[in-house]
Amino acid sequence: MIPKNWGKARDSISCDVMRPVSGFDRPGLQWLFVALAVVLVGLVAAETVGLRRLRGQVESLRASDLNARVEREQLQARIAREQSAREAFSLEAARLRGGSHAGASQPTLTLSPLTRRGATPPEPTVERPAENQAIQLRLLLPPGPASRASNYSVAVRAWSGGETIWSRSGLAASAVEGRAMVTAFVTGDVLAPGAYEVALTAVSSDKKIADVAAYEIAVR
């Protein structure tokens, strides 16, 4: 049963619901909201510009990093060429000093492949050579198909940090005193006091690289 005064109560509720919020009809308050809206739009625009600038800076840093990487590779290549030229000069000087028997008296350093890498650097077993001394590095090849390549690369790295100290590529295996090995000439400045890891890799005709063996050496 609907009360008799239900219609008046309904009209009163409708008026309360549709009644405008007090204060929004004032011009000052309206202008305040307009100003806040303008400020928000300005902040959004400023953030957009800032993001674009940040994106441009990131792209610039990437380009700088790429350029630095290219310059570093070019510098490493130039250092390798200079080392190769210095080694060739040292070998030629040794031949001139020693005559035809210089090759027989050429100092050698023979390394055997590791079965596993130790947890600590190896103990020093090699005396430090003179910086201009030419040394024949002999890396004994392990048995197996991976060691029967026609093109090898050698890299001497710091034992702890892993940075490359010296590298050579385009080397061939040979038999010396009945043992298969890869040989390369280094100068004494490469073998400064410290521990080193020597990595031997094989390069196939399609430029694929495969690990052959690892060696260790420590210089007093």
Q: Is residue 111 a contact partner of residue 212, using CB atoms and an 8 Å limit?
A: no
Write out the two tokens for 60. 């610039």
The span from the CA of 101 to the CA of 108, in Å, is 15
List b or e across 84-122, with b for residues whose CB sees 16 or more CB atoms inside 10 angstroms: eebbeebbeebeeeeeeebeeebeebebebeeeeeeeeb
- Of 94-108, 125-139, 205-219, the least confident: 94-108
Match 């028997």 to its residue by tokens. Answer: 101
Phi, psi of 188 (to 5 degrees): -60, -25
**What's the confidence (pLDDT) of residue 195?**
96
In CATH, the architecture of 107-219 is Sandwich (2.60)
Q: Per-residue pLDDT tens for 47-83?
A: 888 888 888 888 888 888 888 888 877 776 667 666 6
Q: Is 135 left (phi over 0), alpha (psi -120 to 50) or beta?
A: beta
Write out the two tokens for 167. 């590298």
Q: Which of 166, 91, 101 is nearest to 132 (CA)?
A: 91
Q: Per-residue pLDDT tens for 75-122?
A: 766 676 666 666 666 665 655 555 444 444 578 999 999 988 888 999
Per-domain boundaries in the chain: 20-102, 107-219
